[in-house]
């Protein structure tokens, strides 16, 4: 039956068009969210910088830098992994690359006889690791899209407690670092213990030499400061991950929209061909019918159709030449 | 000569400007005022008010619940993850929080969390009312 294929193609084109509308909308939403997430990440920077500066000042004034968060356990028997992923998919390889990197690290350590704890942020990591029967110490959902400092505090507190009293000797953080809108990098690095060289970097600057007065005491200030520092670092990682998520989603949705466009063009061509085929078939049928009638009525010259040879009208349909009944 | 003051929270810089004097409450040290030429200082903030006296008889009141104050070379940095400028405080909400905390405290007088939130609400109200 002619037209059946046309109908199917038309339906497919419509559905691809609808999908394209959705992916395009998601692309635009993601694009605006990247900008906002970037702004938030930038807004968080002064705080982190100031906290780091105070720690540097503390170190410069000769306070004894000894705190559980700074203590290296030596032999590592248990590592906690903190994985930052998103709650929702459709973000390209964003989630899988972080999860893969974590799993690789975890397996390597497991072979060396190191136990693990898993802390996941985002539904995707939780689903992945739960499905594969990993033990999850904690999982946080609903915060990765737009993390607040309150969220960072909650997670940081859990991690710090594990580190203090959960037998965890090391905490590794896996997340996607936001370098620019076009480039994000999966980063797996030690989160705790804090590395003194990293925390107390570049003390040498002239301003740091000034003798500080500490209230109540250098040790007490440090003890109050380090947990805030951990929170600020985690908050920065969460904000980076959120910006990366939106950038990845934007990219994935852009290529989906492009693909949909290509597909619409391709299907449109198929549709045109199918329509032409249907028209040709119809003409053939009419011509055949007329030919049949002519046989009955006799007078050849009267029929205009005699001069309408389909082969001349539709040269691309040469293959139908043999079956064409118009050519007697 | 004036002090350069900035109030920084993890969500961004809440206040930045000049001041003649800054008064803050530190843990163990009570209220402490900073003027220009103050010795370099780092302190832990207690739940309380930070008062920034700006040139021209203006002032800013800030409710902080914890954080740090760092002073060096006439720059005062107030770092707090829970800080609110008096202008942004919702008085009705703070009063509701206060009432709720008082209620809690009547039921369990040893509830530290309720006591802390009562203190926070009081500080907020103090800041909002000047």
Domain ranges of chain A: 35-250
CB B55 within 8 A of CB B1: no
Q: What is the pLDDT of residue A62?
A: 65
Range with lowest mean pLDDT among A10-14, A219-223, A324-328: A324-328
CA B122, chain centre distance (Å): 12
For chain A, what percent of residues have pLDDT higher than 90?
47
Helix (H, G, I), strand (E, B) or coil at A34: helix
DSSP result, chain B: --EEEEEEETTEEEEEEEESEEEEEETTTEEEEE-TTPPPEEEEEPSEEEEEEETTTEEEEEEEEEEEEEEETTEEEEEEEEEEEGGG--HHHHHHHHHHHHHHHHH-TT-HHHHHHHHHHHHHHHHHH-
A40 inside 8 A of chain B by CB: yes
Q: Is the dihedral of CA A16, A18, A21, A24 positive or negative?
A: negative
Chain A residue numbers with beta carbons less than 8 Å from the beta carbon of B6 are 46
Q: What is the pLDDT of residue A130?
A: 93
Higher pLDDT, A85 or B100: A85
- Asked if residue A117 has pLDDT above 80, the reply is yes
B4 inside 8 A of chain A by CB: no
Query: Can you give the pTM of this predicted structure?
Result: 0.79
- Asked if residue A13 has pLDDT above 60, the reply is yes
Nearest to A176 by CA among A187, A163, A164: A187
- Asked if residue A260 has pLDDT above 90, the reply is yes
Q: Which of B6, B28, B72 faces A215 most closely, judged by CB atoms?
A: B28
Q: Which two tokens stand for residue A313?
A: 């009208």
Q: Is A35-250 a domain of CATH 3.40.50.1010?
A: no
Range with lowest mean pLDDT among A4-13, A74-83, A202-211: A202-211
E strands along A181-324, which residues?
183-192, 213-215
Residues A153, B29: C-beta atoms closer than 8 Å: no
Residues B68, A57: C-beta atoms closer than 8 Å: no
Fold of B3-87: ATP Synthase; domain 1 (2.60.15)
Fold of B89-129: 1.20.5
Residue A3 DSSP class: T
Q: What is the pLDDT of residue A31?
A: 93
Q: Classify burial at A90, counting beta carbons within 10 Å of its beta carbon; exposed 0-12, middle 13-18, buried 19 or more.
A: middle
Q: What is the pLDDT of residue A202?
A: 45
- What are the two backbone dihedrals, phi and then psi, of residue A176, each rounded to the nearest 5 degrees? -105, 115
**Cα A141 to Cα A17, A38, A98, A123, A259, distances in angstroms:** 33, 21, 16, 6, 32
Q: Which of B12, B42, B73 faces A214 most closely, judged by CB atoms?
A: B42
Q: B60: left (phi > 0), else alpha (psi -120 to 50), else beta?
A: beta
CB A37 within 8 A of CB A246: yes
Q: What is the pLDDT of residue A312?
A: 64
Residues A210, B72: C-beta atoms closer than 8 Å: yes
Query: pLDDT tens for residues A212-230?
Result: 788 778 888 888 888 888 9
Chain B residue numbers with beta carbons less than 8 Å from the beta carbon of A54 are 42, 68, 70, 79
Q: How many CA atoms lie within 13 A of A39 on its CB side?
A: 6
Higher pLDDT, A319 or A270: A270
Q: Is the dihedral of CA A45, A51, A55, A58 positive or negative?
A: positive
Average pLDDT over all residues of chain A: 84
Nearest to A176 by CA among A275, A277, A249: A249
Chain A residue numbers with beta carbons less than 8 Å from the beta carbon of B44 are 215-216, 220-221, 224
Nearest to B102 by CA among B120, B84, B89, B90: B120
Query: pLDDT tens for residues A177-211?
Result: 998 888 899 999 888 887 765 555 444 444 445 57
Q: Is the dihedral of CA A153, A41, A121, A176 positive or negative?
A: negative
Chain B residue with the nearest C-alpha to that of A236 = B10
Q: Which of B9, B29, B32 faces A47 most closely, judged by CB atoms?
A: B9
Instruction: Compute the distance between CA of residue B79 and CA of residue A151 in angstroms, rounded to an integer.
Output: 18
How many residue pairs bridge chain A and chain B with CB atoms within 8 Å of each other? 93
Strand B75-85 with B3-9, pairing: parallel
Instruction: Compute the distance between CA of residue A102 and CA of residue A97 in angstroms, rounded to an integer.
Output: 9
Q: Which two tokens stand for residue B31?
A: 């209220």
Q: What is the pLDDT of residue A303?
A: 56
Nearest to A53 by CA among A238, A234, A232: A232
- Asked if residue A241 has pLDDT above 60, the reply is yes
Q: CATH 1.20.5 residue ranges in chain B?
A: 89-129
- Asked if residue A324 has pLDDT above 70, the reply is no
- Asked if residue A150 has pLDDT above 60, the reply is yes
- For the residues A126-143, what does the mean pLDDT come to? 92
A206 inside 8 A of chain B by CB: no
Residues B40, A44: C-beta atoms closer than 8 Å: no
Query: pLDDT tens for residues A275-305?
Result: 999 899 999 999 998 888 876 655 555 556 6
**Cα A312 to Cα A3, A187, A317, B123, distances in angstroms:** 24, 68, 9, 94
A232 inside 8 A of chain B by CB: yes
Question: Helix A123-131 vs helix A94-111: angle between axes, to the nearest 10 degrees?
Answer: 40
Residues A207, B42: C-beta atoms closer than 8 Å: no
For chain A, what percent of residues have pLDDT higher than 70?
82
Q: Which two tokens stand for residue A260?
A: 């949909």
- Cβ within 8 Å of residue A17, ≥6 positions away: A260, A264
Query: pLDDT tens for residues A155-175?
Result: 999 999 988 887 888 899 999
Q: What are the residue ranges in chain B where pLDDT is below 50?
A: none
């Amino acid at each position: 039956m002619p037209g059946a294929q046309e109908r199917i193609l038309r339906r497919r084109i419509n559905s691809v068009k609808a999908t394209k509308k959705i992916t395009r909308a998601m692309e635009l939403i993601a694009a605006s969210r990247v900008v906002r997430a970037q702004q938030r990440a930038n807004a968080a920077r002064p705080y982190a910088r100031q906290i780091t500066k105070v720690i540097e000042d503390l170190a410069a004034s000769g306070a004894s830098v000894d705190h559980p968060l700074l203590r290296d356990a030596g032999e590592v028997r248990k590592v906690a992994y903190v994985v930052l992923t998103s709650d929702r998919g459709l973000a390209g390889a964003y989630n899988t690359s972080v999860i893969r990197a974590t799993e690789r690290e975890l397996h390597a350590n497991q072979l060396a006889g190191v136990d693990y704890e898993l802390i996941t942020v985002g539904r995707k990591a939780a689903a992945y690791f739960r499905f594969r029967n990993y033990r999850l110490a904690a999982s946080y959902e609903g915060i990765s899209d737009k993390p607040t400092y309150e969220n960072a505090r909650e997670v940081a507190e859990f991690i710090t407690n594990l580190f203090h009293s959960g037998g965890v000797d090391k905490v590794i953080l896996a997340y996607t670092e936001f370098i620019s809108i076009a480039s994000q990098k999966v980063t797996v690095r030690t989160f705790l213990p804090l590395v003194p060289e990293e925390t107390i970097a570049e003390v040498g600057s002239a301003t740091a030499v000034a003798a500080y007065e500490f209230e109540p005491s250098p040790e007490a200030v440090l003890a109050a400061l380090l947990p805030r520092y951990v929170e600020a670092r985690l908050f920065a990682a969460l904000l980076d991950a959120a910006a990366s998520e939106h950038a990845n989603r934007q990219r994935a949705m852009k290529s989906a929209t492009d693909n949909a466009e290509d597909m619409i063009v391709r299907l449109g061509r198929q549709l045109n061909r199918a329509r032409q085929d249907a028209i040709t078939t119809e003409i053939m049928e009419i011509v055949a019918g007329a030919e049949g009638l002519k046989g009955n009525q006799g007078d050849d010259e009267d029929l205009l159709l005699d001069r309408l040879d389909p082969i001349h009208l539709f040269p691309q349909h040469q293959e139908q030449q043999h079956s064409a009944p118009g050519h007697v | 000569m004036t002090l350069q003051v900035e109030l920084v929270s993890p969500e961004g810089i809440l206040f930045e400007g000049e001041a003649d004097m800054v008064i803050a409450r530190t843990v163990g040290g009570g209220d402490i005022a900073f003027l220009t030429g103050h010795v370099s200082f780092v302190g832990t903030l207690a739940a309380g008010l930070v008062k920034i006296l700006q040139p021209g008889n203006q002032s800013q009141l800030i409710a902080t619940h914890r954080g740090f104050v760092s002073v060096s070379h006439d720059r005062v940095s107030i770092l707090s993850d829970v800080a609110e400028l008096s202008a942004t405080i919702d008085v009705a909400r703070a009063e509701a929080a206060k009432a709720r905390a008082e209620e809690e405290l009547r039921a369990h007088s040893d509830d530290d969390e309720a006591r802390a939130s009562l203190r926070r609400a009081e500080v907020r109200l103090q800041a909002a009312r000047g």
